[in-house]
Amino acid sequence: MPEVGGKTIETLFSAEDIAARNLDLARQISDGHFHDLLVISILKGSFIFAADLIRAMHDVGVEPHVEFITVSSYGAGTESGQVRLLRDIDSDVSGRDVLLIDDILESGKTLKFVRDLMLERGARSVSIAVLLDKSVRRKTDIEADFKGFECPDYFVVGYGMDVGHAFRQLPFVGWVKD
Ligand code: IMP
Ligand code: MG
């Protein structure tokens, strides 16, 4: 079992499993026949997933524009609460198909906030791709159009996801055992 920063990490999804799944997701996105597609990576947690997914999209012939938005959710401990926009995209989304990429869909508050913002701005459609879906924690009526894996109810790290900015560098997704 990997030891990182003095902690034991139990692997949930290996780098190989994630890479294979990213290619499946890219093919599904390609079948969506999006028009004037703008991909928006929701920072910070999605940066590695988005980087891999957009390259898998390239491999299957999808040619998106790519943007970044930074949002933050404040709440007690690891529970997400109020969502705040920290850094906006630069692009005009009106009339465009938008694909939001996030690391994990949990309560749904983060993705609902960004989706509603893009719809208010006149996006033609807003779809959602997430690596992980922790559906037992959902508190909104939002669902992902493209999802990598159903996630067990652990606080997970790696592949961009952190605890206090640690563990983002791991090429796999796991949870901290001790
Ligand atoms: P939601 O707003 O509750 O759906 O939470 C989504 C955001 O919370 C994600 O974009 C993640 O950045 C963060 N998050 C939720 N669960 C985890 C986790 O298990 N590990 C790391 N980050 C998480
Ligand atoms: Mg996030």
The CATH number of the domain holding residue 88 is 3.40.50.2020
Residue 7 lies in a domain: no
Q: Is residue 177 included in any domain, yes or no? A: no
Domain-embedded: residue 176: no
CA of 136 to the centre of ligand 2 (A): 17
Structural domain includes residue 4: no
Residue 76 is part of which domain span?
17-153+164-171
- Write out residues with Cβ below 6 Å of ligand 1: 45, 73, 80, 102-110, 155-156, 161
Q: Is residue 146 part of a domain?
A: yes
For the segment 34-57, what is each residue's pLDDT rounded down to a tens digit? 999 999 999 999 999 999 999 999
With a cut of 70, list the residues of the chain below it in pLDDT.
75-80
- So what's the pLDDT on residue 117? 98
* CA distance between the termini of the chain: 12
pTM of the model: 0.95
Minimal-distance CA residue to ligand 1 atom 12: 45
3-state secondary structure of 63: coil
Instruction: Look at residue 116 in the predicted model and tell me its pLDDT.
Output: 98
The confidence score (pLDDT) of residue 178 equals 77
- Side-chain half-sphere of 45: how many Cα atoms within 13 Å? 23
Report yes or no on 158 lying in a domain: no
